[in-house]
Amino acid sequence: MSQDPSAAPPAGGQPTGSRPSLDRTARLVLIAAALVVTISMGVRQAFGVFLTPVVAELGIGREVFGFAIAVQNLLFGLMQPFIGMIADRFGPSRVVLAGTAAYVAGLVLAASTGSPTGLMVTLGVAVGFGLAGTSFVVVLGAVGRAVPEARRPQCFALVTAGGSFGMFAVVPGAYAMLDAFGWRDAILLLAIAASAMAAFGFALDGARRRGPGGPAAPVAAPPAGAETLGRALHEAAHSGSFWLLAIGFGVCGFQITFIGVHLPAYVGDVGIPGWVAAWALGLIGACNIVGAYVLGSLGARFRGRNLLVAIYALRTAFVLAVVVLPPSAPLILAFAALFGFTWLGTIPLTSGMVARIFGPRYLSTLYGVVFLSHQVGAFLGAWGGGFAYDLLGSYDAVWAAMAVISAIAALLHLPISDRPVARQPKPA
């Protein structure tokens, strides 16, 4: 894994390798962004522990529950480019506030639903819109404008680690609430926790009010990146590297959503106690707190392309272990720890490469397009896992398919170039 020979010095002429400090506004934006995704991603990852009790009480198949979560992920992804444009134009705080309202409404209504249609409308549509407004796309755009270029990989990694901490903290807690109060009351308690995102979202407009480019940037500084949104979209549409990043991110979405939604049911199918699944999901979050930060920090020193190749190659090996080895509690927990180290590590690397290639001015929009591919993969992982189980009576075919596409993703990242887009200077 080689260091990036094409790395340009950060803005302002600062030497590569130095660590410019973060001012008060940048630190506030960073903390608020991490807290928003801690709650949003933590609650989202807890939905898998509700699959078995909801399916049993409502008398539906796993495909129905999986399809509701798949629609949630697809709407989450379809909205990202537009949500990114709105955040770039009007600021992230308003977007987070609207997203929180939809998220909480979906959870509250889901707690009283009694039909597959109600499940689709609440956990599927309403929560899908809520996730779109409280996602990495919105908050990373705010962070990218608040911090210096040299600090973006580490700061993106810290925000991503917040999502992992949410998974570590929320999923075991949700399982405990489910066991103590039943699934309906447990979802209501999650709704109360989700409402806190609105308060943290107000801090995200600080960088927008100050101006892009980090602590040293004046308010009147020109945007770093394409001059207009149309130009930014044109540059991305004609970049092969952009589309390869998007395809690889789709594989990531398939993998993590299939595991998050269907791992608890798979664990029960092979005769392993349910607490193992809950703690496996929590362990994924715990290990990714370290993994996301380590991988994001390495992104400041090494080529993001090479790190992404390594991530997908490692995931291939981890999934193959589940396919070929006899199922057991130690295997599930070991898989969770190893896969968890790479769980959201693709996010700071992928978003960092988009910012490096195209600049941070329209990062929310461009990363939103890439994230749409991630959520198309998530749709297939959530729905396809349930469909395959109802059709074949097991998840074996899905595990095998996941190993194959992971290997393909590793190969697809090899030709990606992360050099910044060449632009003609503006006339004086």
Cβ proximity of 304 and 157 under 8 Å:
no
Answer whether CATH 3.40.50.2300 is correct for domain 25-212+229-412: no
Rounded Cα distance, 180 and 175, in Å: 9
Closest C-alpha among 84, 75, 139 to residue 106: 75
Residue type, 416: I
Q: Which residue has the tokens 């134009």?
A: 89
Burial of 275 (0-12, 13-18, 19+ CB in 10 A): middle
Q: Which of 14-23, 70-79, 88-97, 277-286 has the lowest mean pLDDT?
A: 14-23
Phi, psi at residue 215, to the nearest 5°? Answer: -55, -30
Residue type, 57: E
SS3 89: helix
Q: Which residues contact 175 (CB under 8 A, 6 or more apart)?
A: 46, 49, 274, 275, 278
Cβ proximity of 175 and 52 under 8 Å:
no
Of residues 152 and 1, which shows the higher confidence score? 152
| CA distances, 78 to each of 66, 129, 148, 354 (Å) | 18, 10, 30, 19
Cβ proximity of 116 and 59 under 8 Å:
no
User: Which band of pLDDT confidence, cut at 50, 70 and 90, is reported for residue 42?
Assistant: confident
Q: Which residue has the tokens 């990036």?
A: 4
Residue type, 121: V
Rounded Cα distance, 102 and 381, in Å: 24
Residue type, 297: S
Looking at residue 19, what is its pLDDT? 61
pTM for this entry: 0.71
pLDDT over 90 for what percent of the chain?
Answer: 29
Rounded Cα distance, 341 and 350, in Å: 16
pLDDT tens, position by position, 79-127: 877 887 888 788 888 999 999 999 999 999 999 988 889 999 999 999 9
What token pair was written down for 254? 């398939």
Burial of 188 (0-12, 13-18, 19+ CB in 10 A): middle
User: Which band of pLDDT confidence, cut at 50, 70 and 90, is reported for residue 6?
Assistant: very low
Closest C-alpha among 77, 91, 99 to residue 141: 91
pLDDT tens, position by position, 52-69: 899 889 888 888 888 898
Q: Which residues contact 131 (CB under 8 A, 6 or more apart)?
A: 40, 44, 72, 76, 99, 103
Distance of CA 23 to the CA centre of its chain: 26
| CA distances, 202 to each of 45, 92, 93, 105, 207 (Å) | 24, 8, 5, 20, 12
Closest C-alpha among 320, 333, 196, 190 to residue 272: 333
Looking at residue 390, what is its pLDDT? 87
* Radius of gyration in angstroms for the set of CA atoms belonging to the chain, rounded to a whole number: 21
User: Which band of pLDDT confidence, cut at 50, 70 and 90, is reported for residue 177?
Assistant: very high
pLDDT tens, position by position, 285-340: 888 888 877 887 787 778 888 999 999 999 999 999 999 999 999 999 999 999 98
Looking at residue 20, what is its pLDDT? 66
What is 22-67 written as a DSSP string? P-HHHHHHHHHHHHHHHHHHHHHHGGGGGHHHHHHHHT--HHHHHH
User: Which band of pLDDT confidence, cut at 50, 70 and 90, is reported for residue 426?
Assistant: low
Rounded Cα distance, 322 and 400, in Å: 9
pLDDT tens, position by position, 209-253: 444 444 433 333 334 555 677 888 888 888 888 999 999 999 999
